[in-house]
Structure 1
């Protein structure tokens, strides 16, 4: 979901200074920017730097609490001061892996060195239990690869390759090339032949970059073949369903949607083109996006939304929209259709303004909440970053500020930031978890929108999990 745009605008303290909403340090600036407020260039620079400092301070505070209460474990439970594992009963340091490149971008080099030390000494994937292939890839393979990019430590690259090799049977044992959903990393045994579109097609960024780094094209080829197999089974309307049996190639859920469980498939089609210049991906992307715009897009009550429809007939199934669908605004912006991205981001902004934080899903005909949970999701924020990069419109910084304010008000607890179980109550009902992606995505996007780093080059690239794979200015350690 998150990459730089083709215009390659640098996000740094020197260049991203257009009337920043300073995340609680000073007042927000609207779409007309500093000229309408009388701010000088120096005012804008100071506001941006203050915002970046605030993000770093909050991240550093939360990180110290993670170190104190959950070090080495997958996720902190910041209300109770405990921890929770994600993949197995035993930890694999998920938060440490997910946070590596954010620590680097925020200049927290000592903390980065300590995290790398734990990973090198403690992390092993020789675990006799089922592991979800998709999550293992975007979180662990991607996190280790980005950790290698920002440190230059070959041990992290070796671990990324080791895990990818343990995941390979999910692809290689499949008759269609579309991966099984689970694999045992110790034995290579695969399971669950019914898989979701996103979990079939969210590998080419990480596996393609791994192929580049180790000089073995097979990772890229496996990832591409899986996407092609799903694409080839599109309907006559150029739509994909939601789940398919990877052994028979038969669709199991024929409802087309842009949100989960299909979402990142579309991101990675674009990425296959953006990262590797493979024209097949660009062609597939164009065909499927045209199908989506023709059969799913609709304007309802003046707002752009995407219906859930039958992939074969186009008949409307539901007007439900998942919060994770927010990614579409940024994807459209970087794919050269910012007008679609703007309109869709506007639609979700209306939802945030109604609830202050996003419900997990809504009925867009009346914006009613169908799921009331807010899982600290980063998609709306990631869309704001990409739209800001593409358009330069400061409204997206203002929207990021409003989300920051809401996160501070509703999610900040004694030991960090927690998910919300009900956004419709007052006060909001809090859960007890900081997901791993919060460290990899949310705080990184806030920091980049604040212009807080000189450690990324113009052509930087972030994966769907926010891991940087291209554009690192130089490793923090040799």
Structure 2
């Protein structure tokens, strides 16, 4: 009996520190979740105070600006899905009233189709799925219909620009990202409206670009919409190509389209073989010729960080963890990440920080897949960097130079849609968001899954649903 009492005491002594540590972590996460909400609201209040009804805020000069000649309410639409996840009821009410009273797409002005699709079509569709108000879907359909003329090219590769009122198109030279980074949005629109045209036209453009891939299996940087001729055969995963690959994998996850999976498999194999490389400074993904695979550059930047989310979704945790070490090294090089570095010498090439989310996104995916606490700690570090260097008395801003921390008087809408959303998800209750229920588009808007899946250590197991 005495031995049993001693054993029980030992077990209790071991369990007490563990229980205490768990309690401390819960307390910490709750505090950080509130801090992330506070940061979001501070940025939102700057928009309310200085840019209400416009696209984005300039917090230092205390004014706002539009992307085009008239406002499209970029910030309210982009921010809404984050407001839903954060359960910010008053802010949701304000944004919703503004959107339904002021947002109108019958405007005689030319817009960039891809950016409008991921921010506004995606934001409105996500708002509809999270909120349930059909007016969000009606707005998304109206906008989607106005964007459709871009697909009327000789090759099916979409033009870049379209007039929202007249349908007049322009921009017959494009890049893979602007061809493929709308499939989730148009596919969801097809699903919710029952009209397959949105998905079919977008997929055709993707297939036309993929069919013109180089001998490496990878696509180039610039292509003619009229002839399908490559005008820049440099290949990479940076801006201009990035989300073309992202949407192949996420498109398969969301819609179960086997064609997308096969294109993804070819693409990821090409990236691993020709672009990824182990260096004395870590594992990085660079640039090469799309046909020969010959190295053309050793640049890696903020936008490239998205790749880790794809690796995690594909189940390649080992390679993702290698790249994550490099991403965090880039982030901490000057206390907050620059836009781009040359990883051969770890020198900054583009010094600004646009409050981009991709490095935080990468860290979140790797942490959720591995459960390794060090990635949680990296997420905290990134959030604290933004708090330290981008925060103003009346909001948040971007940085002109991460080396000097000089402020940049603007704040893009993706600060609300993505950066603050990923920061919050590190600390939010588990029920807030589930990869089993949603796929996050390139703007981090949650879109409900069409197919049943099970999260298994960083890999989705697909089973066709109804």
TM-score by length of 2: 0.90
* Equivalent-residue separation in structure 2 for 1:422 and 1:76 (angstroms): 20
Q: Which residue of 1 aligns with 2:408?
A: 431
Q: CA deviation at 1:111?
A: 1.6
- One of 189, 197, 200 as aligned partner of 1:218: 197
Q: Which residue of 2 aligns with 1:14?
A: none
Q: Which residue of 2 aligns with 1:7?
A: none
| Post-superposition CA distance 1:441-460 (Å, at most 9, x none) | 01111111102463435422
* Equivalent-residue separation in structure 1 for 2:338 and 2:188 (angstroms): 35
- One of 116, 134, 138 as aligned partner of 2:96: 116
Number of residue pairs the alignment of both structures matches: 435
2:74–2:120 contact (8 Å) kept in structure 1: yes
Q: Which residue of 2 aligns with 1:63?
A: 44
* Equivalent-residue separation in structure 1 for 2:391 and 2:423 (angstroms): 16
Farther-moved stretch of structure 1 (397-406 vs 190-199): 397-406
Farther-moved stretch of structure 1 (316-325 vs 435-444): 316-325
Q: Which residue of 2 aligns with 1:149?
A: 129
* Equivalent-residue separation in structure 2 for 1:455 and 1:116 (angstroms): 21
- One of 27, 49, 58 as aligned partner of 1:77: 58
Q: CA deviation at 1:41?
A: 2.3
* Equivalent-residue separation in structure 1 for 2:39 and 2:277 (angstroms): 40
1:396 and 2:375 matched: yes
* Equivalent-residue separation in structure 1 for 2:240 and 2:104 (angstroms): 29
Structure showing the higher helix proportion among its residues: 2
Q: Which residue of 2 aligns with 1:197?
A: 176
Supply the RMSD in Å over aligned alpha carbons: 1.7
Q: CA deviation at 1:415?
A: 2.0
2:250–2:439 contact (8 Å) kept in structure 1: no
- One of 213, 228, 233 as aligned partner of 2:207: 228
Q: 1:299 to 1:36 in 2, by over 3 A?
A: farther
| Post-superposition CA distance 1:393-415 (Å, at most 9, x none) | 12121111111111111110122
* Equivalent-residue separation in structure 2 for 1:78 and 1:397 (angstroms): 30
| Post-superposition CA distance 1:380-434 (Å, at most 9, x none) | 0001111111111121211111111111111101221111001112xx1110111
Q: Which residue of 2 aligns with 1:11?
A: none
Tell which structure's C-alpha radius of gyration is larger.
Answer: 2
Listed as ranges, the gaps of 5+ residues in structure 2 are 1-14, 451-466
Q: Which residue of 1 aligns with 2:105?
A: 125
| Post-superposition CA distance 1:220-268 (Å, at most 9, x none) | 1111111111110001221110110010000011000011110000110
Q: Which residue of 2 aligns with 1:92?
A: 72
Q: Which residue of 1 aligns with 2:12?
A: none
1:442 and 2:396 matched: no
SS at match of 2:174: strand
1:126–1:185 contact (8 Å) kept in structure 2: yes
| Post-superposition CA distance 1:353-391 (Å, at most 9, x none) | 211111111111111011111100100000111111111
Q: 1:126 to 1:69 in 2, by over 3 A?
A: same
Listed as ranges, the gaps of 5+ residues in structure 1 are 1-33, 473-478
Q: Which residue of 2 aligns with 1:140?
A: 120
1:308–1:318 contact (8 Å) kept in structure 2: yes
1:238–1:287 contact (8 Å) kept in structure 2: yes
SS at match of 2:333: helix
Higher relative contact order (CA 8 A, sep 6+): 1
Q: Which residue of 2 aligns with 1:18?
A: none
TM-score by length of 1: 0.88
Q: Which residue of 2 aligns with 1:52?
A: 33
